[in-house]
Amino acid sequence: MGATDGVIELIHLADRPDAGGNSVAVRVLGRCRPGILTGHDFLDCEIVIAAESVTASFPVTLLPEDLEDWEDALTALESGRSALWLDSGRTPSMKFKPDKNRGVRVSVHDGPSSGVKVTVPLCAPPEAWARKQRDLLARVRETYPREVVETSPGAYEWRRAGNA
């Protein structure tokens, strides 16, 4: 978990070390179009899945609203409910389904591109896993703050200091 060469994690879920080593991560690689008003706040990311027999990576561009949706998904997961994230049809989607053993099954479906679906069971994440995901989300927001504001439909300007 953490930054390597400017890459930071938005999501990092993994088995206990003694449970097999499966993991799912969403890594933020940087701004999609830094300095270009209409694309500056978009983030280039990759969904990375590592399991015994499969390693997969799916490119994805996140919009600022996607970060808000991830926060909503975390709220559902904290209450023991399933959550679907990135379900707009423009990117691979992710489904998180808690199981009765305090684990979670994570499915990534790359419907818009390859059609591939990968499901990874994760055994008993640590008790504070949701808090850790919230900490990662806060770090992404701190590293890549929203710097563009839509002043009216289709009209954008740079956010001025003090206009949060």
Tens of pLDDT, residue by residue over 105-134, are: 999 999 889 999 999 998 866 666 888 999
Best CA proximity match to 125, nearest among 105, 139, 95, 145: 105
Task: Specify the pLDDT at position 18.
Answer: 67
Q: Tell me the pLDDT tens digit for each residue of 139-155.
A: 999 999 999 998 999 89
What is the C-alpha separation between 83 and 85, in angstroms, rounded? 7
CA distances from 79 to 13, 90, 146, 151, 161 (A): 17, 28, 29, 36, 36
Per-residue pLDDT at 162:
55
pLDDT score, position 100:
81
Q: In the prediction, which pLDDT does 102 show?
A: 79
Which amino acid is it at 19?
A: A
Confidence band of 71 (pLDDT split at 50, 70, 90) = very high
Number of H helices, E strands in the chain: 2, 10
What pLDDT is stored for residue 126 in this prediction?
60
134 vs 68: CA distance, rounded Å: 11
Condensed to tens digits (0 to 9), the pLDDT of residues 44-68 reads 999 999 988 889 999 999 999 999 9
What is the per-residue pLDDT for 6? 82
Q: For the structural domain made of 8-158, what CATH number should be given?
A: 2.30.31
Q: Is 154 exposed, middle or buried (0-12, 13-18, 19+ CB in 10 A)?
A: exposed
Select from 49, 41, 44 the least CA-distant residue to 12: 49
Pairing of strands 83-85, 23-31: unpaired
